[in-house]
Amino acid sequence: MSTVEDQAAALCEKHGARWKIWYVPRSLDGGYTWCARIHGDDLRNVVHADPAEHLDEHIRLREEDLAADAALSDEAARDLAGDD
């Protein structure tokens, strides 16, 4: 098991170009709540997870959702433009 700093560094290395990643210590059990949001996004779109591995998975799933949304938007734009 790596330290929390190692986990944060690994997540930032993997996702840091697009995502702001941080953790919040929990006083009751000594664990951490992991958080992430896309740089520039507002705080209503924060992803939360526990443990760090789950945050990695949540980011991956959110990226898949964003890619699907972008594909649908592109398709809708082509439909509106009359391109087939």
**How does pLDDT run across 5-64, given as a tens digit for each residue?**
999 999 999 999 999 999 999 999 999 999 999 998 888 889 999 999 999 999 999 999
Could you tell me the two tokens for 8? Answer: 């944060």
Is pTM beyond 0.75? Reply is: yes
Could you tell me the two tokens for 43? Answer: 């705080």
| Residue 48: domain span | 4-81
Segment 64-78 mean pLDDT: 81
Contacts 24+ apart (CB under 8 A), 9-14: 10/52, 11/36, 11/52, 11/55, 11/56, 11/59, 14/56
- Specify the number of domains making up the chain: 1
